Amino acid sequence: MEKNKSFKPYVSAQDFIPEFTLKAVILGSIFGIIFGAATVYLGLKVGLTVSASIPIAVLAISIFKKLGNATILENNIVQTIGSAGESVAAGVVFTVPALLFLSGGEAYFKYFQIFVLALVGGVLGVLFMVPLRRSLIVKEHDNLPYPEGTACADVLMAGEKGGKLARNVFLGLGIAFLYKGLMSIAGLWKDVPQYVFGRKSALPNGTINAEITPELLGVGYIIGPRISGIMVAGGVLSWLVLIPLITLIGDQLTVPMAPETSMLISEMSPSQIWSKYIRYIGAGAVTFGGIITLIKTLPTIASAFRDSFKDLRTKEANEPTEKLRTEKDFPLIYVVIGSVGLVLLMSVLPNIPTNFLSAIMIVVFGFFFVTVASRIVGLIGSSSSPVSGMTIATLMATSLIFIGIGWTGDYYQPIALVVGSIVCIAAANAGATSQDLKTGYLVGATPAKQQLGLLIGVLVSTVAIGFTLLLLNDTLGIGAVTEAHPNPLPAPQATLMATVIKGLLSQNLPWGLVITGMGLSAVVELCGVSSLAFAVGAYLPLSTTAPIFAGGMIKVIADKVTQRKEDESEVGSGALFSSGLIAGGSLTGILVAVLLGTNVTTSEGPQSVIAVIHQAVHSVIPEGGDLIAILMFALLAYIVFRFAKAKID
């Protein structure tokens, strides 16, 4: 495809205006830390993330207006640096927590190891995209729209609307902080209202509940009614069909039902049945859904890699000696030295589960899937990119290679995960990098300065991601239910990655349940429904998918009331307010984790700050019951609806 020579960026290549300034770097770094931390919390909670570029661009415009204004290119640098934190965090939470579930892997779940994996994966995602920019962003400008990148450019070019746009984000953030602070910190009403059917009812052990948090409501609004509806359908199947079915059958048994060896089903609560049976069914469903998603994109993957590799070998004729400002990339020699040096360094660092063979696999799989991820997000956007499917493919290929050379012991499980983790982080960051470079191409940014900004964003956010991940594991728990952590963050994607690795290398999974889950996904796929979204919903608690579904329903109702098409612009009032809810709710969740982990001395002994606050509040105001919680959530939903109906002037 020839370069579109008629294209003119918003800022001409001959114009040199402030771009890579200190204030832009500082503000972008702050946003990278904030949205990176929020993404860690959200990814562990629901296994989903949302693009941060547009909210960051809106906030940058607003803040700089208050501080004396800034150029469009400075605002672009802010969103470029800030978005790197969100994308790296997404790759980390999808894979790295799996170390907790692998034999010997928990020994590597330390700050240094998390920092190294996040840094190497994030930097490789940026570096591998440098030689691909001309072929994917420039030459394919007319064919690859990069929807989030184009929408972000529209926001930047409409900078005079920045204050009103940002108002919705700030209001969402503030309302989320107030709502969740009163609920989770002050304890004025329940986080999770629920109803469990009795064992003698028509739905024995069936559970209806909802974690009524602002971030889940905001996620539902942004992903829309179709995906949120498919996800909640999976939750309904698990919690209102499979758990009652297992209870109905198992209550008559006098011996434990495999794979459980000591506990009777008649003694199990709904959450215990989920832990011992449903989660394996859900893992099988997600595995099959990820593989199917990958198979569907194989034609795109093949053409993406073929076309990009061909473009790399082809030099444009009559290329001028002195490149224009808008065509200057990082020197290719930096890319080669940086990529090889990082991987070799990681392979010799102490206490990192890797070796020379896995380092080679990181480079090969990493470049392949960075290429694939970039082209796919150019067509369907970052939110729909099958990064999980690519990671599963990497893990399966890595595990099969290990099996072929006899590496089947528990020792090799963390090594296989490291390969998948770095590839996942690189692919996730490459997708976001592509969107940022598309935004820069449209507004007339300098590619080399954007690429430097992305590297800064990776480094800064990586410093905070490890702290956030360890904090959440210590205070709330990740994955397994324990006495200390009765309601842990489920980390569905990471649990899936651990399941894949253990299943291939150790052969000790309850394959009957896993294959049952794969069969469920196959049935859903044959019905023409996205099996991956359904499978993720089947794996997650219904309490997570129910509020997401509520957010999707608010969007469809608001669209019908305003006669707006379902594919509302990403810069719509409702989407920006929901982005604020996600950021505010997630950050408040991290604050709750900090307060839970901070003990103070009382007359009753050491207690967390949260417990002390609850006691003080409830000595004056009794805790609200389920009805109060539902009414408060309904009020929050109504506020979202009002913003969704509003138009931005």
Q: What is the pLDDT of residues 187-225, one digit of tens each?
A: 898 888 999 999 888 899 999 999 899 988 988 887 788
Instruction: Give 188's DSSP letter.
Output: S
In sequence order, which ranges of 51-110 are alpha helices (DSSP H)?
53-66, 72-95
User: pLDDT at residue 174 above 60?
Assistant: yes
The predicted pLDDT at position 1 comes to 40
User: pLDDT at residue 357 above 70?
Assistant: yes
Tokens representing residue 510 in the block: 């309850």
**Helix/strand/coil for 476:** coil
The predicted pLDDT at position 196 comes to 92
Provide the Cα torsion 547, 549, 550, 554; round to 10°. Answer: 140
Round the average pLDDT of the chain to a whole number and report it: 83
User: pLDDT at residue 90 above 60?
Assistant: yes
165 or 501: whose pLDDT is higher?
501
The predicted pLDDT at position 294 comes to 65
Range of weakest confidence among 194-208, 310-324, 358-372 = 310-324
Cα 47 from Cα 199, distance rounded (Å): 31
> How does pLDDT run across 451-471, given as a tens digit for each residue?
999 999 999 999 999 999 999
Neighbouring CB atoms inside 10 A of 410's CB total: 14
Cα 321 from Cα 314, distance rounded (Å): 17
User: pLDDT at residue 522 above 90?
Assistant: yes
The predicted pLDDT at position 524 comes to 93
The three-point CA angle 569-570-572 to 5° equals 70
Cα 446 from Cα 622, distance rounded (Å): 58
Query: Count of residues for the chain?
Result: 649
The predicted pLDDT at position 111 comes to 93
Query: Who contacts 79 (Cβ-Cβ below 8 Å, separation ≥6)?
Result: 28, 31, 53, 54, 56, 57, 60, 152, 156, 436, 439
What is the average per-residue pLDDT within 584-605?
A: 79
User: pLDDT at residue 321 above 60?
Assistant: no
Cα 49 from Cα 215, distance rounded (Å): 11
**Helix/strand/coil for 65:** helix
Tokens representing residue 417 in the block: 């995960």
> For 202-225, what is the HEC assignment?
CCCCCEEECCCCHHHHHHHHHHHH
Query: Of 176, 170, 214, which Cα lies nearest the Cα of 55?
Result: 170
**Residues 180 and 585 sit within 8 Å (Cβ to Cβ):** yes
What is the average per-residue pLDDT within 296-316?
A: 58
Identify the band that residue 590 occupies on the pLDDT scale cut at 50, 70 and 90: confident
Cα 614 from Cα 622, distance rounded (Å): 10
Identify the band that residue 241 occupies on the pLDDT scale cut at 50, 70 and 90: very high
User: pLDDT at residue 3 above 60?
Assistant: no
Query: Phi and psi at residue 188, in whole multiples of 5°?
Result: -70, -25
* 69 Ramachandran zone, left/alpha/beta (phi>0; psi -120 to 50): left
User: pLDDT at residue 534 above 60?
Assistant: yes
> How does pLDDT run across 141-163, given as a tens digit for each residue?
777 778 677 777 877 876 645 55
The predicted pLDDT at position 302 comes to 64
Query: Who contacts 538 (Cβ-Cβ below 8 Å, separation ≥6)?
Result: 234, 235, 237, 238, 278, 281, 282, 285, 286, 517, 520
The predicted pLDDT at position 284 comes to 80
The predicted pLDDT at position 239 comes to 94
Cα 322 from Cα 388, distance rounded (Å): 41
The predicted pLDDT at position 156 comes to 82
The predicted pLDDT at position 404 comes to 86
**Helix/strand/coil for 573:** helix
Identify the band that residue 175 occupies on the pLDDT scale cut at 50, 70 and 90: very high
**Residues 550 and 221 sit within 8 Å (Cβ to Cβ):** no
569 or 129: whose pLDDT is higher?
129
Tokens representing residue 75 in the block: 């605002």
User: pLDDT at residue 311 above 60?
Assistant: no
**Residues 607 and 202 sit within 8 Å (Cβ to Cβ):** no
User: pLDDT at residue 9 above 70?
Assistant: yes
> What would you measure as the largest C-alpha separation in the chain, in angstroms?
82
User: pLDDT at residue 540 above 90?
Assistant: no
**Residues 179 and 165 sit within 8 Å (Cβ to Cβ):** no
335 or 637: whose pLDDT is higher?
637
> How does pLDDT run across 620-635, given as a tens digit for each residue?
888 778 899 999 999 9
Cα 277 from Cα 619, distance rounded (Å): 41
User: pLDDT at residue 168 above 70?
Assistant: yes
> How does pLDDT run across 473-516, given as a tens digit for each residue?
988 888 877 777 777 888 878 887 887 788 778 766 677 888 89
> How does pLDDT run across 367-400, given as a tens digit for each residue?
877 877 777 677 655 655 657 667 777 887 888 8
User: pLDDT at residue 165 above 70?
Assistant: no
The predicted pLDDT at position 318 comes to 45
Cα 540 from Cα 472, distance rounded (Å): 18
- Determine the residue type at 316: E
What is the average per-residue pLDDT within 310-318?
A: 52
Query: How much is the CA Rg of the chain, to the nearest whole Å?
Result: 24
Give the predicted TM-score (pTM) of the model: 0.75
The predicted pLDDT at position 637 comes to 95
**Residues 593 and 471 sit within 8 Å (Cβ to Cβ):** yes
The predicted pLDDT at position 441 comes to 92
The predicted pLDDT at position 102 comes to 87
Query: Who contacts 230 (Cβ-Cβ below 8 Å, separation ≥6)?
Result: 529, 530, 533, 534, 537
Cα 575 from Cα 147, distance rounded (Å): 15
- Determine the residue type at 337: I
Query: Of 113, 122, 5, which Cα lies nearest the Cα of 470?
Result: 113
- Catalogue the E-assigned strands of 275-428: none
Instruction: Give 478's DSSP letter.
Output: B
Q: How far is residue 287 from each of residues 389, 492, 520, 536, 554, measured CA to CA in Å?
A: 8, 11, 11, 10, 30
